[in-house]
Structure 1
Amino acid sequence: MSIATPERSRTGKSYLTGLADGRRVHLAGRLVEDLAHDPATEGMAGFLADLLDAHHPGGGLVAADGRPWAYSLADSAQMVRGRGQAFARTARLSGGLMGRSPDFVATVLTSWAGAAGHFGEYQENIREFWQFARESNLILTHAISDPPADRHLGPDVRGEVQALRAVRTTGEGVVVRGAKMLATLSPFADELVVYPFRPLRDDEEDQALCFAVPVATPGLTLYSRPSYATLPSSDGPLASRFDELDAVCHFDDVLIPWNRVFIHGDVAAANNLRPGTGMTAYAWHQSAVRAWIKAETVFDLADRCARAAGRDRQQTVRQQLGELAGLVETLRGLVVSAETDARQDRFGHHTCHSVPLAASGMLHARLYPRAIELLQQIVSSGLVMHPVTADEDPDSAGHQFMQTYFAGVDVDGMAHGRLLRAAADLTMNRFGSRQVLYERLFLGPPDAFQAKFYDLFIERRESTATVLDDLDS
């Protein structure tokens, strides 16, 4: 299989048409025939189509060369800030609710292209695939985690391994078998980028793999969790549009062509992928911007709900809104700090300072759950009882009552109900619960990352004289 010719004129419409490419996506026990029009998936597919259409000159998502900012290597600190501004614009389109918006893995791939030497004999494959993805504005996601038994127990008594591994090579490429999870966005992606998440042992050469593969490749099947989208969609306005879906990816002797192979059998290259390419500075930049915008979304929703109900006049609520505003400003300030201290890396490209980015990731794991707790307290009983879409019909039994009873300050009862339904989406259902869990574990176990942050902080901290030095004299 050769790399396709890039489609420079790609549009949202062509993306939706392309979803009918034979990909096998099982959702809640059924094969989804048409992701672009299935009620469980059409909202997310439609948003991604809109996002592709937003990549036009003057829209802030493409650089001066016409290519997406997320796929751009920065030659200056100014370009780093430009990339960050594009991350912010993308995140605002979804309120930061997409943990795997396409710019995340796009920037990971870009970091690899900028440090292609790490991939040894496969370095030209990285450069060519990056160019292809960049020209086509591919929607990428990754699949990196192993099944639970392999992560925690290792092979069973029969020596079977469930995790993805190479089983043989041919003149055409590497044949792989096994599973990867938790591939967020994979049902909607053009391609999967696969690489190890956990450190590999020296005897696990068959799992030392890094490659890209189209989602519609024969032998690849995605088993997705149930969709959180609602019917009607306006009863779950956020879940119905921004549920990315998470899936287990099953590779049943899938052939990966040689030109899509980036690492094969090299445990050292796999284990050193992050420090060897500097990819964390790229990925953390996108995720730190998204964390700030997501906190901003929660604040705006809480503020609008409080104003509509007149609760913004209560001192307790104003204190809660003040705390939410502080969370927003903390995360924004860390992004500004990281971009302000952008510097040239050892590969000759400019990236953010990693310490503020790591601090953002560490804090966001705790700040986002706190933000949702504050939203619950501010909106209170309105999360449980509010007008639903059916009440907006003037002929419905509850329309007039709900219109009157839920009328707020400068907002009618139906408009107030739409605000409350959005707040309930983030606090009361599976979509909101998944959002909290996702942010808690975004960088792995929070306590473990805190210890890693201490090491990073000490390593990167510039030594300065302090008043404490006088204690030694």
Structure 2
Amino acid sequence: MATSTAPPNAGRTGTSYLAGLADGRRVYLAGEPVADLAHDPSTEGMAAFLAELLDEHRPDGELTGPDGHPLAYSLAHSGDEVRARGRAFARIARLSGGLMGRSPDFVATVLTACAGAADHFGPYADHVRAYWRHARAANLLLTHAISDPPADRHLGPGPNGEVQTLRAIRTNDEGVVVRGAKMLATLSPFADDLVVYPFRPLGENETDQALCFAVPVATPGLTLYSRPSYASTPAGDGPLASRFDELDAVCHFDDVLIPWDRVFIHGDVAAANNLRPGTGMTSYAWHQSAVRAWIKAETVYDLADRCAKVSGRDRQPLVRQQLGELGGIVETLRGLVVSAETGTRPDDFGQHVCDPVPLAASGMLNARLYPRAIELLQAIASSGLVMHPVTADEDPGSAGHAFMRTYFTGAGVDGLAHGRLLRAAADLTMNRFGTRQVLYERLFLGPPETFQAKFYDIFAAGRSVDSPVLDGLDG
């Protein structure tokens, strides 16, 4: 792959990104093809936000390092550089309220971990390094596709031995031809490239599934089948969903050619199964997700606090207790990020990373804390979630305008501004967008109980403190 000699991010603007979405990518939304995601009512809000995010990568901004590259794509050589990357994660999360589980900085930092430990990829190490440099210079919007279709997980091969799971079917001088599916590729309709690798451990006889590669979304033979958009019409009736619904999709590879310079693992089961410990990507990914979890909790708290103050419920003792509990959730998740960033250390590959134990604790606790935060928001916003002004009521010519504006008047705001707060709260607590958000956080690291058991191993392995009070009681 040729490495660009242009200055970092040269020409990469929000405008050029939006224009590039009409690149021939095959995206089906609720069974219908989407010709241009930048202008379709179901997708234009998310596309516009991503364009704004690209424009935020200014040379003097919080998202860009001294070398001009995005901090999410930057390896850290000191604790200060780790914390700078964390501040970039926080800035991106605040721009979206933490509501994007696959904001582009997530896979950017995963790819960066792979580049920092590229020797894990053996004969393809230089491919990983070159692709990372290319993605960093272009500030590519990446996401990944790693889960297998559910039929294969439960039913195994079909009557003729066919499987739906993505696999290599042949090679030629140009690259590897792959066939099959990967699923739940969050953000994929809007991404530049997909990074694909296995999620589950592979058996020794599954060498054809031992694959890791990167591929542009607009590649011939690749089709994305997305779930329906949660964006509403008008957008103001779902102010969060219409702006931050990143979409999830099944990716169908119909004999797609992956050029050799985009292939990182091919046929090596050991390299695929040891991808996470072999690259240290977990600390990178968990750092981004822990920051996002903290900022997302802040968003819920701020929305609940504003709803309570506008309605006057902030004077009620019970509501004040609920707001206090929400504040405690925010501070717990923030404190775990601070602890992880304070405990930075060199990893096995010579890069500096966070202490993984607080990051793992954040992921484990957030699976329960975020659903609880939404319960508290529901209780605080109360009946306003069921009945509130809609966008149409903001039109002075509408039948209910004068009545709604008066009926919902709150402390310091008129009824229509109060209604906008309640619509946002309903988006997070009652609508499909909010329900998906809860499920996403609950299962972000897999089944919560399974990860709790895993955290026991992580926590116990990091313990080195004696307990004098207990010493001798068991011996």
Work out whether the TM-score is over 0.5: yes
> Of residues 306, 310, 316 in structure 1, which corresponds to 2:312?
310
Rounded to whole Å, the distance in 2 between the matches of 1:472 and 1:26 is: 62
Contact 2:3 2:133 in 1 (8 A): no
Rounded to whole Å, the distance in 1 between the matches of 2:157 and 2:442 is: 29
> Of residues 425, 437, 440 in structure 2, which corresponds to 1:438?
440
Could you tell me which residue of structure 1 aligns to residue 94 of structure 2?
Answer: 92
State the secondary structure of the residue aligned to 2:470: helix
| TM-fit CA distance, 1:157 | 3.2
- 1:248-285 deviations in Å (ceiling 9; x for gaps): 00000000000000000000000000011000000000
Paired AA for residue 298 in structure 1: V
Rounded to whole Å, the distance in 2 between the matches of 1:472 and 1:385 is: 61
**Pair 1:381 & 2:392 matched:** no
State the secondary structure of the residue aligned to 1:297: helix
- 1:62-107 deviations in Å (ceiling 9; x for gaps): 0111100000000000000000000000000000000000000000
State the secondary structure of the residue aligned to 2:133: helix
| TM-fit CA distance, 1:472 | 4.5
Rounded to whole Å, the distance in 1 between the matches of 2:4 and 2:240 is: 35
> Of residues 216, 240, 248 in structure 2, which corresponds to 1:214?
216
> Of residues 281, 287, 290 in structure 1, which corresponds to 2:289?
287
- The aligned length equals 473
* Pairing of 1:54-93 with structure 2 (within 5 A): 54-93=56-95
* Pairing of 1:429-468 with structure 2 (within 5 A): 429-468=431-470
| TM-fit CA distance, 1:154 | 1.9
1:5–1:145 Cα change, 3 Å: farther
Could you tell me which residue of structure 2 aligns to residue 392 of structure 1?
Answer: 394
1:168–1:5 Cα change, 3 Å: farther
> Of residues 122, 125, 135 in structure 2, which corresponds to 1:123?
125
**Pair 1:148 & 2:150 matched:** yes
| TM-fit CA distance, 1:470 | 4.3
Could you tell me which residue of structure 2 aligns to residue 19 of structure 1?
Answer: 21
Paired AA for residue 116 in structure 2: G
Paired AA for residue 131 in structure 2: F
> Of residues 114, 139, 161 in structure 2, which corresponds to 1:159?
161
CA RMSD of aligned residues (A): 1.2
Contact 1:2 1:259 in 2 (8 A): no
Rounded to whole Å, the distance in 2 between the matches of 1:26 and 1:451 is: 39
| TM-fit CA distance, 1:180 | 0.2
Could you tell me which residue of structure 1 aligns to residue 335 of structure 2?
Answer: 333
Contact 2:4 2:137 in 1 (8 A): no
Could you tell me which residue of structure 1 aligns to residue 191 of structure 2?
Answer: 189
Rounded to whole Å, the distance in 1 between the matches of 2:472 and 2:165 is: 56
Contact 2:178 2:258 in 1 (8 A): yes
* Pairing of 1:201-350 with structure 2 (within 5 A): 201-350=203-352
TM-score scaled by length of structure 1: 0.98
Rounded to whole Å, the distance in 2 between the matches of 1:441 and 1:430 is: 16
Rounded to whole Å, the distance in 2 between the matches of 1:207 and 1:4 is: 31
TM-score scaled by length of structure 2: 0.98
1:216–1:428 Cα change, 3 Å: same
**Pair 1:352 & 2:354 matched:** yes
> Of residues 107, 111, 114 in structure 1, which corresponds to 2:113?
111
| TM-fit CA distance, 1:465 | 3.7
Unaligned stretches of 5+ residues in structure 2: none
Rounded to whole Å, the distance in 2 between the matches of 1:18 and 1:4 is: 19
Contact 2:410 2:418 in 1 (8 A): yes
Identity of aligned residues (%): 78
| TM-fit CA distance, 1:2 | 6.9
